Chains A and B, each alone.
Chain A
């Protein structure tokens, strides 16, 4: 028994180190005092890369803003499309429903590089010139399935008679949706959207093909292969990590406090 526990603790420790060591190294090197453009040996503590970031001397922050803007647009649109799709298909009693579902999931199943190339070809053929519009359409293409999947799972676990009961009690379809269905699927909609947001922020391959003049953060970082990646990237990553960590901690705290109260309200 005891040996087993030691074994699993060891396993856990190894896994955690493997997962977080690279992250720790990134954060550590963001405080490097080494000013050389070419070597990264850790020579001491300094906040120089954070100061550089503050003045955006490498244009990283503006690239991040572009990425966030793109993620916001594409997730906003995907949220509507994905949710409506899940609702519509859940209620539909048509032939070929399965086929439609599989088709709508295709964008996450085909390799990104093929999707990226195909989108580029389509935009060129259709003569779409505006970069942001192209990128938003491309990102919506692969964001929708994530939201659709999560919302659909949520709907499957929902009792359809709840909606019927609302209608029975006199609520119109719109009222029933906003007062009953939406609050029930909202956690699914939100987690799906967050997932899609992360995918959009992270995307390199598709943006690589589609973008002409818009430089998102992944594109920006990747294009430094020829001249060397600045440690400002580490600083930016550390700031993003900290932001996410704080957001997650806050949401955990809030949900822990809120849950009992919410239950009462609903009842």
Chain B
């Protein structure tokens, strides 16, 4: 028995050593949501540079940030992260400054999505996908044209709305409608938004996050407030549906690519970033992920059929109103509390 144990322990030890030495030069480790960097993009990069890509998945921004904070940065070379997490990671020195000299395609990016609050001058990040929630509705079942977020309060929507189950996005847009900021820390304004939201409750049929578009496609609701890609999916599946950016102004989010501090293959990571910014590659990514494309050179390569979707044509004047969900410190719990009350009512 003892010998068996010794053999097992030795095996375990060998396993450990092999793992440590198995690292090849030509490796790139991407840390992302499943399928958020699609297989074709990865295969194209691998083939061209002979670099083997290891694709590691996470389920949430928070999980990923936790791994970085625990010193896990050296395990990854490229990370897909949302704006607010980049802001936080940057302040904690968890990200590696990009070497812009190696990023020859940087000029392809749309300046609208550069130099944002979470990373001034894009020292650390390259915008990957851009999203902005919008209203999608079925004109056959809705009277009149819907243009404002405030239109959702109309009694005609009684028990037939689907909203995103996200405190910051929903309260934020309500605040915006009332003329305040997404990230207000004014108690009176928050109270007003909370009261206003409560009035919307009789219209709400469903709250969902991952598959909110299903309610609209199945006909269970006649209108929904959805993420950009959901809005596109809705229109792809049912061309009859109408998608609009609310007139009051829009919320905004940018998922970007970053290199963590301590990355083992920073050169490969830069190669990958430059590859992703190529017009053809960026076009493919936009077509696959169905978010707003941040690469202006890619526009010429995107399937013209896709360009007709309202979500991809966010008007410049709406971009000017765009507001990010930002860190509001201790007020975060206040937002969550309002949302919880709304859900429980």
Task: List residues of chain A with CB under 8 Å of any chain B CB.
Answer: 36, 38-39, 57-59, 73, 76-77, 80, 84, 120, 124, 129-133, 136, 177, 208, 212-215, 219-228, 230
Contacts and interface: CB of A to CB of B under 8 A. Distances in A.
B344 interface: no
A39 B20 contact: no
Interface in B50-67: 54-60, 63, 67
A212 B35 CA distance: 18
A225 B33 contact: yes
A153 B33 CA distance: 44
The 4 closest A-B pairs by CB, nearest first: A223-B57, A224-B34, A226-B33, A223-B34
Given A212-B67, A213-B56, A220-B57, A131 B8 contact: no
A228 B35 CA distance: 9
A120 B66 CA distance: 10
Residue of B19, B54, B71 most packed against chain A (CB within 10 A): B19
Interface size class of B (residues with CB under 8 A): 35 or more
Q: Which applies to chain A's interface (DSSP): helix, strand, loop or mixed?
A: helix
Identify which of B34, B55, B76, B237 gathers the most chain A CB atoms within 10 Å of its CB: B34
B39 A215 contact: no
Contacts of B233: 38
B71 A124 contact: yes
Contact of A213 (B8, B75, B213, B217): B75
A178 to B, nearest CB: 9
B210 interface: yes
Contact of B35 (A129, A130, A227): A227
B12 interface: yes
Task: Pick from A120, A214, A225 the residue with the most CB of B within 10 Å.
Answer: A225
5 contacts: A132-B19, A133-B16, A223-B34, A225-B59, A228-B35
B138 to A, nearest CB: 16
A112 B237 CA distance: 41
Given A39-B214, A223-B57, A225-B210, A132 B72 contact: no
B70 interface: yes
A78 to B, nearest CB: 11
B92 interface: no
Interface of B: 1, 4-5, 8, 12, 15-16, 19-20, 29, 33-36, 39, 54-60, 63, 67, 70-72, 75-76, 210-211, 213-214, 217, 233, 236-237, 289
Nearest to A80: B5
Contacts of A124: 70-71
Contacts of B4: 80
B83 to A, nearest CB: 15
Given A38-B237, A208-B59, 5 more contacts: A77-B8, A212-B75, A213-B76, A215-B57, A224-B34
A38 B213 contact: yes
A76 B12 CA distance: 11
A73 B72 CA distance: 24
Contacts of B54: 213
Contact of B56 (A39, A73, A215): A215
B12 A133 contact: yes
A181 B49 CA distance: 59
Contact of A120 (B29, B70, B236): B70
B20 A213 contact: no
A38 B216 CA distance: 13
Contacts of B211: 228
Contacts of A219: 57, 59
Contact of B63 (A77, A208, A213): A208
A177 B4 CA distance: 15
A220 B58 CA distance: 8
Residue of A132, A177, A213, A215 with most chain B CB atoms under a 10 A cut-off: A213
A224 B1 contact: no
B131 to A, nearest CB: 11
A132 B15 contact: yes
Nearest to B237: A39
A131 B57 CA distance: 14
Given A84-B1, A223-B57, A225-B59, A130 B34 contact: no
B33 A224 contact: yes
Contacts of B236: 38
